Amino acid sequence: MKRNRLVAGNWKMHGSLAANRKLLDAIVAGAAGLGGVECAVCAPFPYLAQAAECLRGSKVAWGAQNMSEHLEGAYTGEVAVSMLKDFGCRYVIVGHSERRQLYGETDAQAAAKFAAVKAAGMTPILCVGETLQERDSGRTEEVVGRQLDRVLEKNSFEKAVLAYEPVWAIGTGRNATPEQAQAVHAFLRKRVAAETTILYGGSVKPQNAAALFAMPDIDGGLIGGASLVAKDFIDIVKAAKT
């Protein structure tokens, strides 16, 4: 089965109604003529309804950046998977390194969120990645393998997306080289269903996207900073076209 190409934007905690409207309109216009690659934006919770409305009928899907591992109940401030589903959400980023590092999210929580997203019929984008210290001590495969294995203990990886995001490359302007990324993608690919889309994330820009996406096991990107600039995001989507 052919693997899908996908470029997903992670807006993180950026945006406003006015800025989003401009960005979404420009992305919809830019994506209109593009075939062969899916594209999606993952907006902050308050703007998901706006994203759903602006993207309706377009080629651009939308997703959330996180959600609760609990299905409902007394969890003040949390968002349930059923609430995302109500709005027609397609993707949910799970286990992003900022969730793991800043909010202490564990492998077990990421695995529970992954299971909940799949059970709701949506597509999880599971992020795995090592810190610089872990890479420098030769532990990259051990770390990403452990993060993935925790999910695979109770879930199959069908109909899910995997994103390799080295922590040292996120928001730092320092991307993994295509060869470094390819080596980890090849390692990960052996553990998941053959048709799994595996994205690279970490300072992807229009200037480095084509070289990364040319690697045999890199199927697209999860894009942070550059997804906030419509032209850059569309140029990255274009670079992922097969």
Q: Using CB atoms within 10 Å of the CB of residue 91, give its burial: 0 to 12 exposed, 13 to 18 middle, 19+ buried.
A: buried
Give the N- to C-terminal CA distance of the chain in Å, as an integer: 15
Give me the residue label for tokens 């990886």.
Answer: 157
Q: Which of residues 146-165 bind ligand PEP (CB under 6 A)?
A: 165
121 versus 171: smaller Cβ distance to ligand PEP: 171
- Please select the residue that binds ligand PEP; options are 48, 117, 144, 170, rule is CB under 6 A: 170
- Please select the residue that binds ligand PEP; options are 30, 129, 220, 224, rule is CB under 6 A: 224
43-47, long-range: CB < 8 A, 24+ apart:
43/11, 43/15, 44/11, 44/12, 44/13, 44/14, 44/15, 45/79, 47/15, 47/17, 47/20
Stretch that binds ligand PEP, among 129-137, 198-206, 212-220, 234-242 (CB under 6 A): 198-206
- Please select the residue that binds ligand PEP; options are 81, 111, 167, 222, rule is CB under 6 A: 222
- Please select the residue that binds ligand PEP; options are 6, 7, 10, 233, rule is CB under 6 A: 10
185 is catalytic: no
Q: Which of residues 90-149 bind ligand PEP (CB under 6 A)?
A: none
165 is catalytic: yes
**Catalytic, out of 38, 96, 130, 185:** 96
Catalytic positions are 96, 165
Q: Which residues bind ligand PEP (CB under 6 A)?
A: 10, 165, 170-171, 201-204, 222-226
